[in-house]
């Protein structure tokens, strides 16, 4: 009774003429309702489906079943590898884009941006053409006589990794580049002037300074990898199973929505934890 009266009062305040922010509230309302009904509520309902029957059994199954743990672990491993390779390949590129002369910088940007704006499907298709049984690599090696039977490169974890790194690396490069660009080059000169050898300058000055960019880039890549679907589905060919592929199977093949919901809850939890950790690390970073 009193709770509902309080709710009514705060409702009246929020939307009433007394609120100086009434216009802003009303302006945001359609979008909020849209996202509530077409996003938040459907997602919540989907993940809470198992509970609707008064059981938590699907969650338990998702977290204890050996097969599922394996898939979750596999997904995590792939996401970690993709993040690592994005760092190893993307960090020098971001640095190159910061220091390269204008012409090279422009060429570099084109090489990063054109694939970025190209549909993931198109790119994945290209990898199929390159790595396939009768693809470019196999045909070349066969005709050169280096191998006699085609190599089976597709439908393997390395193929999936290759495709995912290709798609996700730009997401690592952008934030790192924007941080590198803002670094005061005087700091680097100062460190050199103080007699530090180049590798020390890099490890103790440059890398820490770029850490915020590395963190947000890595988190972005990791989160996107965890939920990735297209590349594992096509390049993994059913042999490399990630959570999202499993969710799709449980919905479309086994029609087991409850278990799909439980798996989704696990996937979302891991994603949110990664995101939360990044936010927390960034907050600690701002202290100095």
SS3 80: helix
Torsion (CA) 130, 135, 141, 143 in degrees, nearest 10: -140
Return the number of the residue (93 or 153) whose C-beta is nearest other proteins: 93
Name which of 231, 208, 224 is nearest 271 in CA terms.
224
**Position 190 contacts other proteins (CB under 8 A):** no
Return the number of the residue (239 or 288) whose C-beta is nearest other proteins: 239
Return the number of the residue (24 or 204) whose C-beta is nearest other proteins: 24
**Given candidates 51, 96, 150, 281, which one binds other proteins under the rule CB under 8 A?**
96
Closest CB 136 distance from other proteins, rounded Å: 4
> What kind and span of H or E run contains 150?
none
Return the number of the residue (228 or 287) whose C-beta is nearest other proteins: 228
Q: Taking the alpha carbons of 60, 278, 287, 189 in that order, is the dihedral positive or negative?
A: positive
Site string for other proteins, 203-242 (x = CB under 8 A): --------------------x--xx-xx---x--------
**Position 14 contacts other proteins (CB under 8 A):** yes
**Given candidates 51, 80, 84, 128, which one binds other proteins under the rule CB under 8 A?**
128
**Position 161 contacts other proteins (CB under 8 A):** no
Quick one: which segment of 53-61, 99-107, 204-212, 280-288 binds other proteins (CB under 8 A)? 99-107
Residue 280 to residue 274: CA distance in whole angstroms: 10
**Given candidates 8, 9, 60, 136, which one binds other proteins under the rule CB under 8 A?**
136
Quick one: which segment of 32-40, 145-153, 209-217, 279-287 binds other proteins (CB under 8 A)? 32-40
Return the number of the residue (225 or 288) whose C-beta is nearest other proteins: 225
**Number of Cβ within a 10 Å radius of residue 263:** 27
Contacts to other proteins from residues 59-88, by CB under 8 A: none
Closest CB 139 distance from other proteins, rounded Å: 6
**Number of Cβ within a 10 Å radius of residue 14:** 14
Return the number of the residue (32 or 56) whose C-beta is nearest other proteins: 32
| Burial annotation 123-147 (CB, 10 A radius, 16+ → b, else e) | bbebbbeebbeebeebeeeeeeeee
Contacts to other proteins from residues 103-122, by CB under 8 A: 104, 107-109, 111-122
**Position 150 contacts other proteins (CB under 8 A):** no
If you search the block for the tokens 């020098």, which residue do you land on? Answer: 92
Residue 208 to residue 202: CA distance in whole angstroms: 9
Query: What is the 8-class DSSP label of residue 238?
Result: T
Number of residues engaging other proteins in binding (CB under 8 A): 82
**Position 45 contacts other proteins (CB under 8 A):** yes
Return all residues near 240 (Cβ < 8 A) that are at least 6 apart.
Answer: 74, 78, 155, 156, 157, 159, 160, 232
């Amino acid at each position: 009774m009193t709770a509902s009266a309080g709710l009514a009062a705060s409702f009246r305040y929020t939307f009433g003429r007394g609120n100086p922010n009434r216009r802003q509230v009303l302006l945001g309302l359609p979008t909020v309702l849209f996202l509530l009904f077409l996003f938040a509520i459907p997602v919540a309902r989907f993940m809470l489906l198992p509970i609707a029957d008064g059981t938590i059994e699907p969650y338990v199954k998702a977290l204890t079943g050996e097969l599922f743990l394996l898939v979750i672990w596999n997904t995590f491993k792939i996401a970690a590898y993709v993040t690592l390779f994005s760092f190893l390949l993307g960090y020098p590129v971001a640095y190159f884009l910061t220091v390269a002369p204008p012409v090279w910088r422009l060429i570099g940007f084109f090489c990063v941006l054109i694939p970025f704006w190209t549909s993931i499907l198109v790119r994945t298709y290209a990898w199929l053409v390159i790595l396939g049984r009768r693809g470019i690599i196999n045909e070349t090696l066969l005709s050169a006589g280096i191998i006699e039977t085609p190599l089976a490169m597709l439908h393997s974890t390395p193929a999936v990794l290759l495709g995912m790194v290709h798609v996700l690396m730009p997401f690592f490069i952008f934030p790192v580049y924007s941080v590198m660009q803002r670094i005061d080059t005087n700091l680097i000169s100062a460190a050199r002037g103080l007699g530090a050898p180049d590798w020390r300058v890099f490890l103790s000055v440059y890398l820490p300074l770029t850490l915020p960019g590395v963190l947000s880039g890595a988190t972005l890549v990791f989160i996107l990898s965890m939920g990735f679907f297209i590349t594992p589905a096509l390049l993994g060919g059913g042999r490399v199973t990630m959570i999202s592929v499993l969710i799709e199977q449980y919905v479309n093949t086994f029609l087991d929505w409850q278990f799909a919901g439980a798996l989704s809850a696990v996937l979302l939890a891991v994603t949110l934890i990664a995101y939360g950790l990044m936010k927390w690390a960034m907050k600690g970073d701002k202290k100095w």
